[in-house]
Structure 1
Amino acid sequence: MNRPHFPFSALHGQPQLQLALLLAAIDPQIGGVLIEGPRGTAKSTSARALADLLPAGRFVNLPLGASEEQLVGSLDIQAALQDGRVDFRPGLLARADGGVLYVDEVNLLADALVDLLLDVCASGVNRIERDGISHQHEARIALVGTMNPEEGELRPQLLDRFGLFVRLGERIEPAAREAIVRSRLRFDRDPQGFVEGQRAAQEALMQRLERARAKVGQLEFDDALHRQVSDLCYAAGVEGVRADLVLLRAACAHAAWQGHARIGAEDVAVVAELVLAHRRKLPPDAPPPSPRAEPPREGGATAPNEGNDWGELPPQAVPTAQLDGARPLPTKKP
């Protein structure tokens, strides 16, 4: 009999990590979760526990030495040429569909594989093309990547591609440490009995997660929500609009998880740091930068730069001199 995984319902001490994992499971198009932290902080245990809550229950580990073919799968070109049929050999992405794909030390994985992996997880579809032959399959994957900053950083371009980011502290509060250790000892002594004791809580989590996954596509984004998200991302100085899209998706997933009838400002507030922590260019307490353009003025006058080409300076007043012959015209200094 296979040894059971530690149940998600019995996890302690890492509420932000647990929330991020649940959000990524509710809406895989959030783009996965990147977890930064030292060893012994339950990163892999939490990811395995999440897989047990999902319908497919799959947990697939991506080894650092994996090739692109192992990841995306392969096509038998010979079969296509001889018989006219597409013979697809599934890769790790196909095996992980509907479950969790776990990448330990993702910062040590080849950049090309990370980029490919993030593209597939964001779109939910894996496409393979070889010599004019193509095949595609669904890949709704909850991607979980971990990294230890002592072993190298992830390039900023790839860091931004991860939807959510959790930084685990090196120190755990005494009460949380005690709860974690007690649970782990009970599990190690009697795994089957421990899991059985968590069965009701686990089933409740699975049902709640299933309801959230069904509801997340039904919630609407109103104008106030868009303004709140845009203001937060602008104040953080993030580049591009990926953060805006992820923040809206994460807030929607949180509202679905909480059973809310609409996505509210409180949903955005809860998930904002998970989305902005690895993208922020300005500290949270810094004053927001000045807007690039002012709103239209009264009377129909345009604000500076409005209607001009990018980089064009607004018209400036030029001082004039009295033409009475007594004073010379002002000269422009070099």
Structure 2
Amino acid sequence: MTATLEAPPKNRRLVFPFTAIVGQEQMKLALLLNVIDPKIGGVMIMGDRGTGKSTTIRALADLLPEIEVAENDPYNSSATDFELMGDEVKEKIQNGEQVAIARKKVPMVDLPLGATEDRVCGTIDIEKALSEGVKAFEPGLLAKANRGILYVDEVNLLDDHLVDVLLDSAASGWNTVEREGISIRHPARFVLVGSGNPEEGELRPQLLDRFGMHAEIRTVKEPDLRVQIVEQRAEFDRNPQEFMAKYKEKQEELQRKLVDAQNLLPQVTIDYDIRVKISEICSELDVDGLRGDIVTNRAAKAIAAFESRTEVTVDDIRRVMPLCLRHRLRKDPLETIDSGYKVEKSINRVFGLEVTE
């Protein structure tokens, strides 16, 4: 579940490389943008079974560069950034104590469907707290996922209350556990990725709205592409090391690109006119609240940084806005039109990009 200190390559479980994944461009883009700016608010991936959702998410976690953490800290606390520290590490630093630093892979935590709230949030041992006067806290999955990726497969089958807890932590960056008047909080900043199959039920609109982006993926139809995917998978299963070596350069290049984008992000700007038009589109599409406007602005900046630019273009908006808005539109049960198409139509009209038939 949780990442450990970097093991020699031969001992590490090999994961299918992210750069080798064919198709599903929307899903890959949404995931990369959330890694560049986790404040976008996570990704909901809805699509058919067997379309590589889990494979892609594990490949992304494996691709990310190692992070520096305070040694033996259950929350993967940073030893330099106060925002990413648990209280114990913060106390040590404030007292002038030395904190040992270790490097580890970005944690990737899978949330099992039957997980209880205690398993997710952590538990307080009340007896120990009362008898020994210490805050006896057993960290949960949110602690392990701090500074990493929390993946919930079949999120539409998860208890609504648990989804609420996850979304609250993802939005605030903190997890608070309260039992019998004892309160513990720890950092819980992670990229929340949910996936599901629409045939098994939709997520409630108010929960869906809390996910920053929404990618819809379909089974690849082109026979040539399907053959390529099957052959790649067979090649990877036959000799993972050799297959990984083929993509090593591409993986390293994408990893560098992501790090550069994270560093460049604070310098990216959006022209005032473009911001007004983003809000005009959200208003025209009758999107409730302001989350749509905020997420579109963040995602547009992230894609500009990813492409080494410091100014957002209209094309950036065109690429990210359907991902940011399609799940926020009010559903009309009689409508067969894809909501992504409605967003694109509105973008074309507001930005004067209308295509003549």
Say whether the fold is shared (TM-score over 0.5). Answer: yes
Written as runs of structure 1 = structure 2, the 5 A alignment for 1:1-334 is 1-54=11-64, 55=66, 56-281=105-330, 283-284=342-343
* Aligned CA distance change for structure 1 residues 90 and 143 (closer, same or farther; 3 Å): same
Counterpart secondary structure, 1:12? coil
Counterpart secondary structure, 1:74? strand
Confirm or deny: 8 A CA contact 2:149 2:193 kept in the other structure. yes
CA distance in 1, matches of 2:57, 2:346: 37
* Aligned CA distance change for structure 1 residues 258 and 113 (closer, same or farther; 3 Å): same
The aligned amino acid for 1:174 is: P
* Aligned CA distance change for structure 1 residues 45 and 286 (closer, same or farther; 3 Å): closer
The aligned amino acid for 2:211 is: F
CA distance in 1, matches of 2:122, 2:266: 30
Deviation, 1:52, is 0.8
Percent identity reads: 49
| TM-score normalised by structure 1 residue count | 0.80
Deviation, 1:171, is 3.9
CA distance in 2, matches of 1:284, 1:264: 17
CA distance in 1, matches of 2:110, 2:291: 27
**Larger of the two Rg values belongs to structure:** 1
CA distance in 2, matches of 1:255, 1:286: 22
Question: Mean alpha-carbon deviation: is it higher for 127-136 or for 100-109?
Answer: 127-136
The aligned amino acid for 2:56 is: S
What 5-or-longer segments of structure 2 have no aligned partner? 1-10, 67-104, 331-338, 348-357
Q: Report Cα offsets for 1:145-179 as digits up to 9, x if no partner.
A: 11111111111111111111111123432333233
CA distance in 2, matches of 1:285, 1:226: 17
Counterpart secondary structure, 2:327? coil
Question: Mean alpha-carbon deviation: is it higher for 239-248 or for 173-182?
Answer: 173-182
Counterpart secondary structure, 1:166? strand
Confirm or deny: 8 A CA contact 2:121 2:140 kept in the other structure. yes
Counterpart secondary structure, 1:277? helix
| TM-score normalised by structure 2 residue count | 0.75
Q: Report Cα offsets for 1:58-93 as digits up to 9, x if no partner.
A: 221101110111111122333333343323211111
Confirm or deny: 8 A CA contact 1:32 1:142 kept in the other structure. yes
* Aligned CA distance change for structure 1 residues 9 and 97 (closer, same or farther; 3 Å): same
* Aligned CA distance change for structure 1 residues 135 and 220 (closer, same or farther; 3 Å): farther
CA distance in 1, matches of 2:346, 2:260: 40
Question: Mean alpha-carbon deviation: is it higher for 257-266 or for 34-43?
Answer: 257-266
CA distance in 1, matches of 2:107, 2:260: 19
The aligned amino acid for 2:242 is: G
Confirm or deny: 8 A CA contact 2:281 2:346 kept in the other structure. no
CA distance in 2, matches of 1:12, 1:170: 12
Confirm or deny: 8 A CA contact 1:30 1:122 kept in the other structure. no
The aligned amino acid for 2:38 is: P
Structure 1 stretches of 4+ with a deviation exceeding 6 A read: 285-288
Deviation, 1:287, is 7.6
CA distance in 2, matches of 1:268, 1:80: 52
Deviation, 1:50, is 0.7
CA distance in 2, matches of 1:210, 1:142: 16
The aligned amino acid for 2:155 is: V
The aligned amino acid for 1:64 is: L
Q: RMSD in angstroms over aligned alpha carbons? A: 2.0
Deviation, 1:284, is 4.1
Q: Report Cα offsets for 1:206-234 as digits up to 9, x if no partner.
A: 12112222332343444223202101211
Counterpart secondary structure, 2:151? strand
Confirm or deny: 8 A CA contact 1:13 1:172 kept in the other structure. no
CA distance in 1, matches of 2:237, 2:273: 49
